[in-house]
Structure 1
Amino acid sequence: MNTVPSETGNGPVTILPRPNSLGRAVTIVTAFSGFVVWLARCKLPWARPNQTTGERFADLLQGLGTTFVKLGQHLSLRADLLPEDTLRALERLQDHVSPFPVDVAESIIELAFGRSTEEIFASFDRKPLAAASIAQIHRATLANGHDVIVKIRRPNIRAQVDSDMRLLRRVAHIAQRLVPALRPLNPVAVVDEIWSNLRREIDLAREARNVRRFADATRDSPTVFVPDVIDGLWTETVLVQEFSHGRRIDEIHGEQGMIVAQSIVDSYVHQLFSIGYFHGDPHPGNLFVMPDLRVCFHDFGIVGHIDRRLRRALAAFATAFVEQNADWVVDAWLDMGLLRQHADRRIFLEVVDDLLRDFADLPLREWSIANALSRLIAAGRSSAVGLPSDLLVFSRTVLLLESTLQRIAPEFSIVEALSRHVKNGRIDINDQESGRSRRLSFELAATIDELPDLMARKLHDKLGKSGLFELTINQDPHFARSLEHLGARIALAIVTLGLYIASTLLISNPIGPTIAEVPVLAIAGYVLAVRFTYSITRDYRRLK
């Protein structure tokens, strides 16, 4: 071990030594060379390997420690790059690590806050409550008597991650240049993406901000609880959070399991389609059940974000999947950016048709959105499929979610739960529409919302940038009045179109008073639209 000066000026603070870069590089290269030799031996006619390639690769990553365990967990999302057996092996990678010494933990706390554990806490449990590859957790009590947990990042982990990933990036760069078959996969970009995700995951200050956002968003929820962070007690290396009592979610079964499963799905619908960000790591170790059956979410190191456009595309995908509308599923897939524009749409339409036919013969509880996502991605393992970062997190989240819910409530159907949300309008769709009319309503609503921005962008591109039209206007009062009149008619036509669409939607979704079961607002909208149509037509005839 070595020492650094304490920020408090009370003497040196003990920390662990930084890893030896050269020695680490030799270890990594030796391990991967051994894997390549094993692969070559497996190709021999008499070879009888006792492991699959995926299992051997997972063992290799497990043996190389934190960075490579996390690397494997991130690679387990890449159904567009790896075969299914390798993905399944990587999904089983676990953070099997020993806790680091408590005096090192206390030194990290002192460096983070400039005060010792005795000054910050009324009591501090020197025995770790849990230990993982990124951090370990201790129980403590604040001076006001509140029980808390103290999450302490492993010493030098950022330096180790950066050193390991820098080496991997060099290897990927060399491989990409020497092996032409790897170039379409762009291994350097894959390494860069995983490196960026790892640095975010090990930043406890970022995690604290995520916790605060979720705690604020769920503060009044009767079914979900997020223990909040303690103000002034979180940094990049240490996070102090409220302590929550409860059981691991996989200890819940039977009727309680069904209640908890429904609460989790309800929460994710709210996270995805209302607040736009979601807990990205819902495995049983991160979900607890309170005595009142509220679900307690822990560990916000992985959080997915979806913007309004992606949220709408996800809503369309969920609805299309529930409705078994193959054409709509592919369109939603395109809108999510998962299929590149040059992709052969017919191939994916055939895959979706086969997928939905397979599911049609199964009870709803056996329908799997994760399986559907995997099959769609596997169908385009060529350059036709691209996976935006947040959709990688989403696909992994769905996989973990389905696995967790199967443990606590095997009879629970996520698709059936989503169908109920579709019907009650929580996924931007209404109960009183079905089949094709439901899609029409969805697309009309989306078009109305996007119409002003689309028109502005088109005008800007056509007139502002391309110079397609160049107008020279003489100072002619008559011409100016005609141009002004033309603009007014165009504006009136747009308003009229909006009235027709809005009135149609109001009939499908009645609000306010009605006459003969037709909303008064819809009638008024149609009357105005007809009146404006007459005005536009009359003006057109005058011009003729």
Structure 2
Amino acid sequence: MKREIQIIFKLAPRILAYREFRRKIMKDEKIDEEEIEKEAKKLTDAIIDLGPTFIKFGQVLSVRPDIMPEAYIKELSRLQDEVPPAPYEEVEETLKKDLGEEFKILDVNPISSASLGQVYLGTASDGRKVAIKVVRPNVDKLVANDVKIMRRLLPLLGLVLDKAFVDLMKTFVDEFSSRIFDEMDYNKEANNLRKISEFLKGYDGIKVPSLIKSTKHVLVMEYVKSTKITSDDVSVSDRRYLSYKVFKLFMTMLLDNDYFHADPHPGNVGIDEQGRLVLYDFGMVGKIDSRTRSLLVRAYFALTSFDANALVGVLDELGAIDPYADRDVLTQGIDLFMQNLQGIEVDQMEVEDFLDISNQVFYKFPLRLPYKLVLPLRMISVLEGTCRKIYPDFNFLEFSEKLLDEEGYKTKVVVEQGKEVFDNIKKKVVDFLIGRKKKPVVPLRVDDRKNRRVVPQVIIVFAIAVYFFTHNAVLSILIALLGLSFIRL
């Protein structure tokens, strides 16, 4: 009961203030920017005071623009920084119980600490240096109790906030509670490490520490010395290239692999003396199916092409649009934002402006964030911040276009879209041959004939054939885009 009172005392004033901002945002009323920034800071400070569970909660909330407005998102991102470690005496018993005499701690001061665990430098019995990660003392009990309290207090939100928000938060708490317990199980993290290491073993210039031993509460890895990627001590002549290298690493994992590292904040990426990127902390790793990956690539392509129609179509397939939302209105709204973006040269665009606009779209329009997209969105958001710290002029859209070109993603999109068109044609042919009943056909007026898709379908199939015979991606894309343009006529 004492903990519940503490949580209510800390968060109730912040929730009431947030209610007023939400009301104004939903009604498009003017908001005092300075006032909302101050309130966002107060909420973040309250979360820090409430400890590990709420710090982790705030970290995940910091990449949910469908829940929190822009000012809150920016302030909550402070929670990505390291938190003070627990005293060594409080984790010593766990270390001795799980490691025995096989490993020895060299320094009782951890080399890094986070909301749920901390890492010590040690040695193995054969003399090798190792990194030993241990769960914070009693954090599992604290988290379990805090999650129960969250669930008990959720109905109270209905007294002060709208039903849509309360339903969204119920889903969010369910997602959060299922994921946070996984992060405290280091056997699961060990499996994540193996999956990522397997994918990256063929990549030059990338180092993933090898796994030595794991238990539920302790993880022992090879110690790989490196310098924090955002440190001024990093001696590289081209910080622009370094930021792109980090960007490409994480985006490639997301778009090409079943498993991707979902927490690319500066403390989890280093650079060693050989110039290799070193990855740490595999507690937050996402798994994504091939269909979702394909749709993410298409959304990525639509975004860099400023194609609102295509983007809304992909978002719909991803389940990111409310079933009752007006797609035409949503497309018009997103198109307005894209027109704003197109008014600025891509190589001069401020990434923060882009993120501000996208955050506004999610908060004001009837979009929702499916569970399967929570970690990808979080990863991209944290990655952008890390890259900007490496290279202040980092440009998300410019680097995205470069990545799409280098890795041939644009060609993949055209081929996949063409395949879908071909499959639709094949289905219609099969339906015709087996005599499947169709709805009565209403004769087309002259104006309606413009909406027929025979021409674009034929052109896109032809574009695919051109690519396979000539391997000229640019020519194939131009032909396919010509076909797609007929759809809009």
TM-score range, shorter chain: 0.7 to 0.9
The separation in 2 between residues aligned to 1:378 and 1:81, in whole angstroms, is 11
Deviation at 1:321, TM superposition (A): 1.8
Residue 305 in 1 paired to residue 275 in 2? no
Deviation at 1:342, TM superposition (A): 2.2
Q: Per the alignment, do residues 270 and 143 of structure 1 end up closer, same or farther by CA in structure 2, a change over 3 Å counting? A: same
Give the structure, 1 or 2, with the largest relative contact order (CA under 8 Å, sep 6 or more): 2
Structure 2: 5+ residue stretches without partners: 22-33, 439-456, 477-489
Q: Is the 8 A contact 2:133 2:220 kept in 1?
A: yes
The 5 A counterparts of 1:35-46 are: 35=14
Match of 1:112 among 75, 86, 98: 98
The separation in 1 between residues aligned to 2:157 and 2:267, in whole angstroms, is 37
Equivalence for 2:220? 240
Deviation at 1:56, TM superposition (A): 1.4
Once the two structures are superposed, residues 11-61 of structure 1 have per-residue CA deviations (whole angstroms, 9 ceiling, x without a partner) of xxxxxxxxxxx332232233234656888999xxxxx97972211111111
Residue 508 in 1 paired to residue 467 in 2? yes
The separation in 1 between residues aligned to 2:309 and 2:18, in whole angstroms, is 42
Q: Is the 8 A contact 2:195 2:259 kept in 1?
A: no
Equivalence for 1:64? 50
Query: Which of these two proteins has the greater Rg computed from alpha carbons?
Result: 1
More displaced stretch, 293-302 vs 28-37? 28-37
Q: Tell me, what secondary structure is at the counterpart of 1:236?
A: coil
CA RMSD of aligned residues (A): 3.6
Q: Is the 8 A contact 1:321 1:329 kept in 2?
A: yes
The separation in 1 between residues aligned to 2:269 and 2:391, in whole angstroms, is 15
Deviation at 1:371, TM superposition (A): 5.8
Deviation at 1:394, TM superposition (A): 1.8
Equivalence for 2:325? 343
The 5 A counterparts of 1:54-453 are: 54-93=40-79, 97-113=83-99, 116=100, 119-121=101-103, 124-176=106-158, 178=159, 181-183=162-164, 185-186=166-167, 187-230=169-212, 233-251=213-231, 252=234, 255-367=237-349, 372=354, 375-376=357-358, 378-381=360-363, 384-427=366-409, 429=411, 439=414, 441-446=415-420
Q: Is the 8 A contact 1:365 1:412 kept in 2?
A: no
Deviation at 1:179, TM superposition (A): 5.1
So what's the TM-score if we normalise by structure 2?
0.78
Q: Per the alignment, do residues 403 and 342 of structure 1 end up closer, same or farther by CA in structure 2, a change over 3 Å counting? A: same
Deviation at 1:442, TM superposition (A): 3.6
Once the two structures are superposed, residues 435-480 of structure 1 have per-residue CA deviations (whole angstroms, 9 ceiling, x without a partner) of xxx75x441134568999x99xx9xxxx9xxxx99xxxxxxxxxxx
Deviation at 1:107, TM superposition (A): 1.3
Q: How many residues align?
A: 436
The separation in 1 between residues aligned to 2:11 and 2:468, in whole angstroms, is 61
Q: Per the alignment, do residues 142 and 63 of structure 1 end up closer, same or farther by CA in structure 2, a change over 3 Å counting? A: same
Amino acid at match of 2:68: L
More displaced stretch, 367-376 vs 84-93? 367-376
Q: Is the 8 A contact 2:315 2:321 kept in 1?
A: yes
Structure 1: 5+ residue stretches without partners: 1-21, 43-47, 431-437, 470-497, 519-544
Q: Is the 8 A contact 1:130 1:137 kept in 2?
A: yes
Q: Tell me, what secondary structure is at the counterpart of 2:260?
A: strand
Match of 2:7 among 17, 21, 28: 28
The separation in 2 between residues aligned to 1:266 and 1:126, in whole angstroms, is 36
